[in-house]
A and B are shown apart, each in its own frame.
Chain A
Amino acid sequence: MKKSVIPLIVLSLIVAVTLLLSGCAAAPTPEVVEEPTKAVEVAPTATPEPEPEAEAETITVIFPQHEADLSGAFEARVREFEAQSGVKVELIQANWDSIADRVVPEMATGGSAYDVVEFDNGWVAQWCGAGWTTPLDQYMEAGYTDGMIPGLVDLFSCPDGTVHGFVWNNDTRFFMYNAAKLAEAGFDASPKTVDELIEQSKAAQEAGVVEYGMAPFWEQNWSLVNELHFWAYTFGGEFVDDEGCFLFNKDPNTLAAVQFMIDTLESGVSNPAGLTYGQPASQDVFLKGGSLFYPQAIPGLLAYAQDDTVSDVVGQIKVALVPGATPDLSASLTLPEALAIPANSQHKEAAWKYIEFMTSYETNKMLAKEIGLLPIWVDLYTDPELTALYPEWAEFSAQLETARGLSTVTWYGDFADIAMSELHKALTGGQGAQEALDAMAKGLAEFECVR
């Protein structure tokens, strides 16, 4: 390859000239002195030749590792796609943060390095506004989305009604609890309301079954804003209305949710260590039997609980509907991730084939079987083969109907940034609940709608 030779030549030139100059007998001649300068100036301008075009069409795909995918199940599907379609896939998988920090600058600077990208639910409003993604309606057949969970299609539609992404990871959160410890504390049913949750926690703590009811993940981080949404939804709270006007600082339910979070810390129901925990640390405490409830659990937590290298609570964890502020209210949070095609992709047809394959009914079912992936196709939740494998899906599908996404605003980044800071201040005792919500409204004032 020519590419690798040029810098080597330049480098050896520099070395040669330097050695020439470092003699110990002759005095330096002026012409030779000029040499190293010339030689080096070549270095930065020595641009490599572009690589020859590959024969097969290649698409570059980037999306995060699924937390339950320990066996490379996704990659196996990708290789299957290559075999079927003849399209080569350069696959980049990493954790969510890494993916986000690569995808966002690439999109923002109008690059075409990727053909299929991770499309997080939190980005939809912003990306729609910036026109970074390709509407998929032109590629899909009529009625293509029939049979998908409608909410998941809506969450990735732009305001003009076009669909821009299909979900590969239906990351809905569920209420899990330690049934064995709850029974030990004298309860045979999971809490139906948040009041019951508090009551059961206190009883279990008094009985010495657990030290704390919950070990929340309330570190000053993005996941804290997920928690804010989660608890607000369980209290029936709202953040913004359809016109983008603030509700979070006026809605009594949202206020009650924040107050609830503060109160659980003060009353000792929540482990104060939770103020320093992200989600993995909080799971650790639950999995070693240190807490009773895990209100906003990823579906994969059930599988972790069965693995004795990470869990002391094998066979003890169960799923129930999230307790709400009132008995008839149960809501949850969903953080789905989709695949989208950047507007500047050079291989849109192949990219669409990839998305179609990876989110198809068949692929969904296969991944569900292998790693417990939650399907996006409604029928799969009643598929006998799958329900035999995953009895908890009965609870899951009931919860799925009440799951809500994060606030869809173009300024979600700012919202999260300010919310996590003000909320953490409130949780650590620096301010009250209403004060925190007011401070958020003040910090976000430039986005408040004009009535």
Chain B
Amino acid sequence: MANHTNFRRMGRQVLLYLAVLIIIFWTVAPYLWLIISSFSYRIDLLQVPLRWIPARVTLDNYYELFFSRGGTNANASLFLRALGNSGVIASSTTLICLLLGVLSAYALSRLKFPGSRVYMVLMLIVQMIPPIAIIIPLYVILRRFELLDTRYGLILVYLSFILPLVVWLMRSYFGAIPSELEDAARIDGCTRLGALFRIILPLSGPGLVSVAVFAFIAAWNEYLYAFVLTTAAAKTLPVLVGEFSTKLGLEYLRIAAAGVLASLPPVILALVFQRFIIRGLTAGAVK
């Protein structure tokens, strides 16, 4: 009998690890090919049959991100500037979104006030119109306020489409937390916001982290707005990556190299935040 349960448990474990392996393969395989491409010469990738590990390895594609072939490091300053812009814009957007979003979501999930339903609808309607449709009027307005090609301009625009989603997501997480817990805290003399920060936020830790990751990535990867609304000073990484191309089309290898680098910060961030997700879990278990 004991053997039988052990056997079943082992079988389950094997299946589980198999599933994890499949998931890892599905996620990583195309990216791995991107990495291999970024270290290859173009001609070596054109061969049939394809060699998965090309015979020659080169750092040229990375080198060119930082140095022009003439040897000047003009490209490096472009790349680092774009990296800095993306970092500042994505983290500012995330922080502002979390702050404003948490407060609104709390109000929407806990408080009765006029227009709360209309509010949710308004937040969604903003998302309905494809950004490409409003980009030209937006361009004109930002130009009038001298916000074109500035980080502030982009942060303001990003708030308009990321913040509503943050509100929606946070509200659904708050909705899942029983209000009795909060009532207890308020009886102990907390203000509503006091209860929010001391009771509800710690309980919704995993939700908060996933929303933060969401907001960060959405801002980090946004292309269209950044592309039209910046020219040089506030240019972000995806826009710079898109410019690795000639009149004829994209320069795949340089894009691959830049793409490998550009996708690392959000992943590292997510890895770091994993701990908080787990901590959120234990905090949740206390209740």
Contacts and interface: CB of A to CB of B under 8 A. Distances in A.
Interface of A: 3, 7, 11, 14-15, 18, 21-28, 36, 40, 44, 47-48, 50, 60, 62, 64-67, 70-72, 75-76, 90, 92-98, 101-102, 105-106, 108-109, 111, 113, 169, 171, 223, 278-281, 283-285, 287-288, 298, 308-312, 337
B152 A11 contact: no
Interface of B: 41-43, 46-47, 58, 60, 68-70, 72, 74, 95-96, 99-100, 103, 135-136, 139-140, 143, 145-148, 150, 152, 156, 185, 188-194, 196-198, 227-228, 231-232, 239, 242-252
Contacts of A171: 247
Nearest to A96: B247
A90 B232 contact: yes
B156 A44 contact: yes
A28 B69 contact: no
Given A27-B191, A287-B43, A71 B136 contact: no
A310 B42 contact: yes
30 contacts: A18-B99, A22-B194, A24-B189, A26-B191, A28-B191, A28-B193, A36-B103, A40-B100, A47-B147, A48-B147, A67-B247, A72-B68, A72-B74, A75-B74, A92-B231, A92-B232, A95-B245, A96-B247, A98-B245, A113-B148, A113-B231, A223-B248, A280-B246, A280-B249, A280-B250, A284-B42, A309-B42, A309-B43, A309-B58, A312-B46
A71 B67 CA distance: 10
B97 to A, nearest CB: 12
Contacts of A26: 191
Contacts of A7: 152
A309 B136 contact: no
B247 A64 contact: yes
A18 B228 contact: no
Listed residue (B96, B146, B188, B247) with the most chain A CB atoms within 10 angstroms of its CB: B247
Chain A contact residues, majority secondary structure: mixed
Contacts, number: 148
Listed residue (B43, B148, B192) with the most chain A CB atoms within 10 angstroms of its CB: B43
Nearest to A278: B249
B146 A48 contact: yes
Contacts of A285: 46
Nearest to A337: B247
Nearest to B47: A288
Given A48-B147, A65-B245, A71-B70, 8 more contacts: A14-B100, A90-B232, A98-B242, A102-B231, A223-B248, A281-B249, A288-B43, A311-B43
Contacts of B46: 284-285, 287-288, 312
Given A25-B189, A92-B232, A72 B247 contact: no
A48 B190 CA distance: 39
Nearest to B136: A105
B61 to A, nearest CB: 10
Contacts of B139: 105-106, 109
B248 A279 contact: yes
Listed residue (B74, B242, B243) with the most chain A CB atoms within 10 angstroms of its CB: B243
Given A70-B69, A288-B43, A108 B136 contact: yes
Nearest to B72: A72
Those 7 A-B pairs whose CB atoms lie nearest each other, nearest first: A95-B245, A94-B243, A67-B246, A22-B193, A24-B194, A309-B41, A279-B248
Nearest to A10: B96
A311 B42 CA distance: 8
B248 A21 contact: no
A278 B242 contact: no
A72 B70 contact: yes
Nearest to B197: A22
A14 B99 contact: yes
Nearest to A45: B145
A311 B247 CA distance: 20
A44 B250 CA distance: 37
Nearest to B240: A94
Contacts of B96: 11
B234 to A, nearest CB: 12
A18 B143 CA distance: 33
A159 to B, nearest CB: 27
Contacts of B193: 18, 21-22, 28
Contact of B143 (A50, A96, A111, A288): A111
A95 B194 contact: no
Contacts of B42: 284, 309-310
Nearest to A301: B248
A379 B72 CA distance: 33
Given A72-B70, A92-B231, A95-B247, A24 B136 contact: no
A11 B99 CA distance: 10
B248 A298 contact: yes
Nearest to B64: A70
Nearest to B242: A98
B71 to A, nearest CB: 9
B191 A65 contact: no
A100 to B, nearest CB: 10
B247 A23 contact: no
B246 A48 contact: no
A27 B192 CA distance: 9
Contact of B249 (A36, A102, A106, A279): A279
Nearest to A47: B145
A279 to B, nearest CB: 4
A401 B218 CA distance: 51
A93 B240 CA distance: 11
Nearest to A114: B231
Contacts of A65: 243, 245-247
A24 B189 CA distance: 6
Contacts of A223: 248
Nearest to A32: B191
